[in-house]
Amino acid sequence: MTVSPADIIKMRPFIPAKDFERSKSFYRDLGFSITHDMQDLAELSLGEHNFLLQNYYRKEWAENCVMHLLVPDAGTWWRAISAKNLPGRHDIPAPEEPKMQPWGLKVMYLSDPSGVLWHIAEAPPTP
């Protein structure tokens, strides 16, 4: 038997949470909805895009975990996220303003309370 992309219903990453309730609060403030909330696992959604937040933490894993989000305009996202005052509310580093990276994408960076890095990149123009 072989499988194909048509056999995939959904692919979702698991993201660690050092403090599960604090992380859920951060993601709600960021704009995510909690669509399922169980004792040690929550599904967080932003429109049709989602991931699983787990009440499990290993420092080395969290600080090496990166979520890549491709958006039409990284500057718009940076302004919207900056206006939410997430550093003051969740004790995280300030989001970094988008900058053109050597690999050709304009990227802003945002860390969650567990150290997971969000790499919010502007989609390159289509030729």
- Is position 1 within any domain? no
Within a 10 A sphere around the Cβ of 13, how many other Cβ atoms? 12
Q: What amino acid occupies position 127?
A: P
* Total structural domains within the chain: 1
- Is position 127 within any domain? no
- Is position 8 within any domain? no
CATH number at residue 76: 3.10.180.10
**Residue 16 pLDDT:** 98
**Residue 126 pLDDT:** 76
Q: Which helix (H) or strand (E) holds 126?
A: none
In the block, residue with structure tokens 């992309």: 5
- Is position 5 within any domain? no
β-sheet with 14-16: strand ranges across: 14-16, 49-54, 41-46, 33-37
Ramachandran area for residue 47 (φ above 0: left; ψ -120 to 50: alpha; else beta) = left
Model pTM score: 0.92
Per-residue confidence of the chain (127 residues) as pLDDT tens digits?
Answer: 788 888 889 999 999 999 999 999 999 999 999 999 999 999 999 999 999 999 999 999 999 999 999 999 999 999 999 999 999 999 999 999 999 999 999 999 999 999 999 999 999 887 7
- Is position 48 within any domain? yes
